[in-house]
Amino acid sequence: MKMKKFLAAVSSLVMLGAFTACGDSSSNESTNNNSNNNAEATTKADDAATEADAGADNNNSAAGKTVGIAMPTKSLERWNRDGEYLKSQFEAAGYSVELKYSDNNDNQQNNDIQGMIADKVDLLLIAAIDGSTLSQTLADAKDAGIPVIAYDRLIMNTDAVSYYVSFDNYTVGKLQGEYVVEALDLDNATGPFNIEFTAGDPADNNAGFFFNGAYDAVKKYIDDGKLNIPSGKKKFEQVATAQWSTDTALANMQNTLASYYSDGTQLDVALCSNDSTALGVAQAISSDYNGKNVPIVTGQDGDIANLKNIVDGKQSMTVYKNVSDEAGVTLEVSKAILSGQTPDASLLDSLSAEATYDTSSYDNGVKTVPSYLLVPYVITKDNLDKLVDTGLYQWDSANKYLESTASTT
Ligand code: GAL
């Protein structure tokens, strides 16, 4: 109840315009508490903070504490949303925030985190660019007594990470695969159908989970010949897309279409792990595919450009992950750590977002990291209103496409 009131206050703050435009490629953003120069938003932040304080338990751990937030890049829409939701929610709870984006460059992210350690932040939240390159930096964080939460992407090969907050990543892929099974009615149709895969960044531990979840859901149909892969590319390494780049996904799909489909072979499914890659793949299909059918294209994230493609019939679905809720869960885990508690399954009792506590799935090579995993769900053109219900999206003035409720100008 308290949590819901708090989240409502925060989401009105977010809607008021604390949201930076996506696509801004300026690399190094640093933000301090209450540096917001929008007077109205500041008042709202104060209101939200007051409300949070009023609702907070006696062990308010925020006073004088700074949280360092390391996000991968501004070039993908979702990380702009994550950064802003985290910043506004932590500030509303009374914390100072240092927020950095590191331009998808792992050296820069190491430097940025070192800077936060030097600034003596009290806790680090990190969405890793390359999950395997942070071990030394995190050893330094550990030496400095700074707890670390892996945000969205697991950080590998370190014992310095205390918790992982993400979505159920295998289920994200599974939902994509199951969508294909249903859309093609694979249990009844005779087929055969043709499918191609586009997976994510090999440096991102999530990417394998997404691919495996999707592949496992369609595997039996591939094995029995109802689904064919004309390119033969069925291994993650063959279809991975460095940095989740739209341009790379576009070029890869153009090559696939030129090499295996130019003779009129029909492409039925382009199974893409996320929206940034789906955007490139849909573009390749629009420009380079000769078939008359409209292939199924999957995605993940609910990015605005992809929601437009869903309305226009160029993408079939996206797996939606409410990153405002992800930020909210991260805040609760952080509050518990910073007030000296050891968060466990019982933290879920106070959460309004649906999530599970998982102590077995995420092994980073050194330890199994206790994880809070939120629940993703499928969005198609038939249930776009579900996104409106989150309060984070609204219909545009023509009532045709969805836009963010946050001011993105
Ligand atoms: C993943 C994340 C996805 C997607 C992708 C591209 O780690 O879980 O939601 O955004 O990165 O940045």
279 C-alpha vs ligand 1 centroid, how far in Å?
A: 14
Kindly give the distance from the C-alpha atom of residue 321 to the centroid of ligand 1, in angstroms, as a whole number: 10
Statement to judge: residues 193 and 264 lie in one domain: yes
Same domain, 43 and 118: yes
Any domain includes 380: no
Q: Where are the alpha helices (DSSP H) in 224-349?
A: 236-239, 246-260, 275-288, 304-311, 323-338
The contacts of residue 399 (CB under 8 Å, 6+ apart) are none
Q: Is residue 316 part of a domain?
A: no
- The verdict on residue 290 lying in a domain is yes
Ordered alpha helix ranges (H), 36-92: 39-55, 77-92
Best residue among 77, 102, 104, 152 to mutate for probing ligand 1's pocket (most ligand atoms within 8 Å of CB) is 152
Flag whether 305 is in a domain. Answer: no
Q: What is the pLDDT of residue 60?
A: 59
CA dist., res. 197 & res. 319, Å (int):
16
Could you identify the residue written with the tokens 């892929």?
Answer: 173
Ligand 1 centroid – CA 134 distance (Å): 18
Which CATH number fits the domain that encloses residue 215?
A: 3.40.50.2300
pLDDT tens for the chain, 409 residues long, are 333 333 433 443 443 333 333 333 333 434 333 333 333 333 333 444 444 444 444 345 688 999 999 999 999 999 999 999 999 999 999 999 999 999 999 999 999 999 999 999 999 999 999 999 999 999 999 999 999 999 999 999 999 999 999 999 999 999 999 999 999 999 999 999 999 999 999 999 999 999 999 999 999 999 999 999 999 999 999 999 999 999 999 999 999 999 999 999 999 999 999 999 999 999 999 999 999 999 999 999 999 999 999 999 999 999 999 999 999 999 999 999 999 999 999 999 988 899 999 999 999 999 999 999 999 999 999 999 999 999 999 999 999 999 999 854 3
76 CB within 6 A, ligand 1: yes
Instruction: Give residue 188 CA to ligand 1 midpoint distance, Å.
Output: 33
DSSP state string for 369-403: PPEEEEPPEEE-GGGTHHHHHTTSEEE-TTSSSEE
Q: Is 93 in the same domain as 124?
A: yes
- Ligand 1 pocket, 204 CB below 6 A? yes
Q: Are residues 16 and 154 in the same domain?
A: yes
Within a domain: residue 103?
Answer: yes
Check pocket membership of 150 for ligand 1, CB cut-off 6 A: no
Same domain, 10 and 149: yes
The answer as to whether 44 is a domain residue is yes
Cα–Cα distance for residue pair 216/195, rounded to 1 Å: 14
Q: What's the 246 CA to ligand 1 centre distance in angstroms?
A: 13
Q: Same structural domain for residues 223 and 292?
A: yes
219 plus 281 within the same structural domain: yes
Instruction: Examine the domain organization and report whether 359 and 290 are in the same domain.
Output: no
What dihedral do alpha carbons 262, 298, 153, 7 form, nearest 10°? 150
CB-based contact 141:123 (threshold 8 Å): no
**Is 310 among the domain residues?**
no
Integer Cα distance of 368 and 357 in angstroms: 13
In this structure, are 111 and 203 located in the same domain? no
Q: Which atom of ligand 1 is nearest to the CA of 276?
A: 6
Q: What is the pLDDT of residue 11?
A: 43
pLDDT for residue 42: 34
Q: How remote is the CA of residue 72 from the centroid of ligand 1, in Å?
A: 10
Q: What share of the chain is helix, strand, coil (3-state, %, to 5)?
A: 45, 15, 40
The residue contributing the CA closest to ligand 1 atom 1 is 206
pLDDT at 406: 83
Which amino acid, one-letter code, is at 85? Answer: Y
Ligand 1, closest atom to CA 78? 10
Residue 341 sits in the same domain as residue 356? yes
Q: Which domain holds residue 253?
A: 170-300
**Could you give the number of structural domains in the chain?**
2
Whether residue 142 sits in one domain with residue 193: no
- The answer to whether 125 and 67 have CB atoms below 8 angstroms apart is yes
Place of tokens 């995420």: 362
Question: Among 265, 238, 237, 241, which residue's Cα sits nearest to residue 251?
Answer: 241
Evaluate whether 366 touches 159 at the Cβ level (below 8 Å).
Answer: yes
**Residues forming beta bridges with residue 148, ordered by sequence position:** 124, 161
Domain-located, residue 315:
no
My answer on whether 265 and 371 are in the same domain is: no
Ligand 1 centroid, distance to 317 Cα (angstroms): 16
The verdict on the CB of residue 273 being under 6 Å from ligand 1 is no
Is any ligand 1 atom within 6 A of the Cβ of residue 74? no
